[in-house]
Structure 1
């Protein structure tokens, strides 16, 4: 009996050691690429660490055949990327991304005043079936028309599967917002995720303002908002993710109103007064016109 117990304990020790060596000597050395562009030129921070200014590419060296040998690349893992414009009075931008092994994650941002800023985040992740592919598209705001190579595919959020593996043009359109187009490459064995930030079209606002005095009704942009409800504590926590495990980044007060960016089950993503985004529990907030 003692021999059996000793043997089981020995197996547990070996398994723990194997996991340790895998995590710290193998996974730690897996790397992926990151490309960041912004206008105007911006400082780039990843996980709180300063990487440099845009345009920035932590990519494989041109003379490197094996992507894993590129010292410029970044360790695999989840990060928060933060862009701080070097000119203009624009609020900084931040987004949670994941660096995947041997693939490129792309972040692009065009800063502008108010809700006119736009951008896109593109990432790749492996899927089990190497003969299939996926394309998921989300947008802020949602319900944008999705065109792939000029063919309407539906509205965001949208998931497409088994597309022709090649280069495609992805376009997002929504009334009152600037059209967003980006070139993507669909590859078998991967899911490509595209998140588009649509900027308000100034010409649309000007047209709506000019025509407001006429008898004919003119469409206008309705920005969704949420009002913070009473919580019993006098404040509501704002988190960096849509879960209770998300890190608290600030607090808001009952009665205050914020622009609603997106929704997940039980959560609202809001734009804070400093331009940052955060998540609040939908239980303590209500939509307002």
Structure 2
């Protein structure tokens, strides 16, 4: 029986678990393959995987998220994302374990931006990047905060013999870009401006242009992620954008893969091609080591 078990272990090494949560819900892709919708949980072979999340966007467009995550055999890695309209206003964390041995637990916290204050159970422990050792095996309330950003807090469970790693992304507060608060500048009356729509990254590499604001409508053409087009109208019911996708040609694109960009002075009437990027998270299942 022992020999058979060892052979089985060699043939089928332990899997790595992945839990993905987001706000709002999103469509999840792993290594380019659609695996489901959040909350999503699955098992994969250990190693690096590319995770991509396309958020549901019914009112205003939200920035998709994509990142490479290293999955460890026998360990559940947790990915959480709270979507904003840009990467700066998005937040989240990636939490996982690494076996280090010994009878104590350790915690490593990395953040964007650097230098964020880290607190465990309301006690300040330092600033990121930081490694905290000699922790007891139990649940802790982790809080990461920085000036000009919305704080992030969630529950983690430290396990003896393991290093718990939390990579935390903070969302910039309104009016704050890359940690620097920018004063509002009164708009000066200038020449006529034109609103545009930017096409976001899509799973197919293109976005269909429809005759009407619905996926059931006739396809008129296709547009490419990264390009910008003149915005003609917004459908109040669906939020779809009506654009001029070619000179004197109009059609509708879904706001799930497109977003409005800041007004630009109108220089020419024709569309000018020009990825876009990536929750306060509520407590959710924490990573559990399965040695």
Fold match by TM threshold 0.5:
yes
3-state DSSP of counterpart to 1:162: strand
Which residue pairs with 2:70 in the alignment? 98
> Which structure has more helix as a fraction of its residues?
1
Q: 2:171 aligned with 1:169, yes or no? A: no
In structure 2, C-alpha distance between the alignment counterparts of 1:109 and 1:48, rounded to whole Å: 18
Which residue pairs with 1:275 in the alignment? 277
Which residue pairs with 1:231 in the alignment? none
> Which structure has more strand as a fraction of its residues?
2
Deviation at residue 158 of structure 1 after TM alignment:
0.5
Q: Give the aligned CA root-mean-square deviation in angstroms.
A: 2.6
In structure 2, C-alpha distance between the alignment counterparts of 1:83 and 1:182, rounded to whole Å: 21
3-state DSSP of counterpart to 1:29: coil
- With normalisation by structure 1, the TM-score equals 0.56
Check the 8 A contact 2:82/2:90 in 1, yes or no.
yes
The runs of 5 or more residues in structure 2 that have no matched partner are 1-5, 187-274, 279-291
Which residue pairs with 1:122 in the alignment? 95
The match for 1:155 among 108, 124, 127 is 127
In structure 1, C-alpha distance between the alignment counterparts of 2:158 and 2:151, rounded to whole Å: 21
Matches within 5 A, 1:1-289: 26=10, 29-58=13-42, 73-87=43-57, 88-114=60-86, 115-127=88-100, 129-202=101-174, 273-275=275-277
Check the 8 A contact 2:175/2:183 in 1, yes or no.
no
1:162-204 CA-to-partner distances (Å, cap 9, x unmatched) read 1111000110011111010010000011111101110012287
Structure 2 vs 1, CA of residues 155 and 34 (structure 1 numbering), >3 Å: closer, same or farther? same
In structure 2, C-alpha distance between the alignment counterparts of 1:83 and 1:211, rounded to whole Å: 32
3-state DSSP of counterpart to 1:116: coil
1:210-246 CA-to-partner distances (Å, cap 9, x unmatched) read 8999xxxxxxxxxxxxxxxxxxxxxxxxxxxxxxxxx
3-state DSSP of counterpart to 2:63: coil
In structure 1, C-alpha distance between the alignment counterparts of 2:127 and 2:116, rounded to whole Å: 5
Structure 1 segments of 4+ aligned residues over 6 angstroms from their partners: 208-213
Check the 8 A contact 1:31/1:102 in 2, yes or no.
yes
Structure 2 vs 1, CA of residues 78 and 177 (structure 1 numbering), >3 Å: closer, same or farther? same
3-state DSSP of counterpart to 1:101: coil
Using the TM superposition, name which of 100-109 and 172-181 deviates more.
Answer: 100-109
Check the 8 A contact 2:175/2:182 in 1, yes or no.
no
In structure 2, C-alpha distance between the alignment counterparts of 1:203 and 1:171, rounded to whole Å: 23
Which residue pairs with 1:3 in the alignment? none
In structure 1, C-alpha distance between the alignment counterparts of 2:114 and 2:136, rounded to whole Å: 25
Q: When the two structures are aligned, how many residues end up with a matched partner?
A: 179
In structure 2, C-alpha distance between the alignment counterparts of 1:26 and 1:180, rounded to whole Å: 41
1:110-139 CA-to-partner distances (Å, cap 9, x unmatched) read 101232111111011111x23132211001
